[in-house]
Structure 1
Amino acid sequence: MSSPQFASRETRPRQHLIAAGKLYPKAWADMDHMRRDLRGQAAPDWPQWCFIPIAGAQAAVANDAGIDVALLSALHPDRLADAARLAALAAWRMTQGIYRFDPAIYEAVSQTPVAGDIPDQVFDQLPEWCIYIETPELATHGLTVHGTFAHLEWDVNVQRRELRLLMDCDEGLVPLPVHLGSWSLSEAIDRALTTASVASLARGGRALPGSGAADLRPVVEPIVSLLLYVCSQAGQITGRGGAPGNPVPVRTRRDGWKLFPAEGPRTWEVGTRLGAALRAAYAAEQTGSGGSHAGPRPHVRRAHWHTFLSGPRLNAEGTPLPSTERRAELRWLPPIAVNLADAGDLPATVRPVR
Structure 2
Amino acid sequence: MMKGFLKPESRDNIPAQILKELPSWSIYVSAENLHTILPTSYPIHGFFFYPFLDNNGNIIRLFIIDDLKQSQGTTGLKEKDVDVVNNIIRIKDSREGLLDSRKMECIDGEVVVTVNEKLKDFRDREFNLLNAQISMVLYICSQINDIKEKNQFKRSEKHKKHVHTHHELPAQNIREWDVGIRMGQAIRQYRQAEPTGKERTTIGSKRPHIRRGHWHTYWTGSKKPELAHERKPRLIWLPPVPVNLEDVNKLPVVITPIDK
Per the normalisation by structure 2, the TM-score is 0.64
Q: Deviation string for 1:126-181 (max 9, x for gaps)?
A: 1111011111122345511211111111367xx86122211111332222211123
| Distance apart, 1:122 and its partner CA | 0.9
Change (3 A) 1:124 1:262: same
Equivalent positions of 1:80-229 (< 5 A) are 105-115=1-11, 118-139=14-35, 140=39, 143-154=42-53, 161-170=60-69, 171-181=75-85, 185=89, 188-196=90-98, 199=101, 212-229=122-139
Work out the CA distance in 2 between the residues paired with 1:295 and 1:272. 30
Question: Is the CA contact 1:128–1:246 (under 8 Å) kept in the aligned structure 2?
Answer: no
Letter in 2 for 1:174: K
261 and 117 in structure 1: CA distance in 2 versus 1, 3 angstrom threshold: closer
Counterpart Cα distance in 1 of 2:159 and 2:207: 47
Q: State yes or no: 1:237 paired with 2:133.
A: no
CA RMSD of aligned residues (A): 3.8
SS in 2 for 1:127: coil
Does residue 262 (structure 1) correspond to residue 158 (structure 2)? The answer is no
Cα 1:241–1:330 shift into 2, 3 Å:
same
Q: 1:286 aligns with which of 179, 195, 198?
A: 195
For the residue of structure 1 that corresponds to 2:199, the secondary structure is: coil
Give the drift of 1:109: 2.4
Paired residues, number: 210
For residues 9-64 of structure 1, the C-alpha deviation after alignment (integer angstroms, 9 at most, x for no partner) is xxxxxxxxxxxxxxxxxxxxxxxxxxxxxxxxxxxxxxxxxxxxxxxxxxxxxxxx
Shift of 1:114: 4.7
User: How far 1:110 moved relative to its partner?
Assistant: 2.5
Separation in 2 of the partners of 1:237 and 1:322? 32
Q: 1:181 to 1:238 in 2, by over 3 A?
A: same
CA 1:125–1:236 in 2, change beyond 3 Å: closer, same or farther? same
The one-letter code sitting in structure 2 at the alignment partner of 1:122 is: I
> CA contact under 8 A between 1:114 and 1:305: conserved in structure 2?
no
Structure 2: distance between partners of 1:297 and 1:323:
28
How far off its partner does 1:300 sit?
4.1
Distance 1:112 1:306, change over 3 A: closer
Q: Residue deviations 1:82-121, cap 9 Å, x none?
A: xxxxxxxxxxxxxxxxxxxxxxx23322344554764332
Q: Displacement of 1:306 after TM fit? A: 2.9
Compared with structure 1, are the counterparts of its residues 123 and 160 closer, same or farther at alpha carbon in structure 2 (3 Å cutoff)?
closer
Query: Does structure 1 retain, via aligned residues, the 8 Å contact 2:52–2:60?
Result: yes
Q: Is the partner of 1:151 in helix, strand or coil? A: strand
- TM-score of the superposed pair, with normalisation by structure 1: 0.49
CA spacing shift, 1:269–1:160, aligned 2, 3 Å: closer
Match of 1:312 in 2: 220
User: What secondary structure is seen at the aligned counterpart in 1 of 2:126?
Assistant: helix
What CA distance in whole angstroms lies between the structure 1 residues aligned with 2:77 and 2:3? 24
What SS does the aligned partner of 1:226 have?
helix
Higher relative contact order (CA 8 A, sep 6+): 2
What is the 5 A alignment of 1:317-336? 319=230, 321=232, 323=234, 328=236, 330-334=238-242, 336=243
Contact 1:117 1:306 in 2 (8 A): no
Aligned residues: percent identity? Answer: 21
CA–CA separation in structure 1 for the residues paired with 2:67 and 2:94: 17
Q: Which moved more, 1:227-236 or 1:300-309?
A: 300-309
Give secondary structure in 2 for the equivalent of 1:161: strand
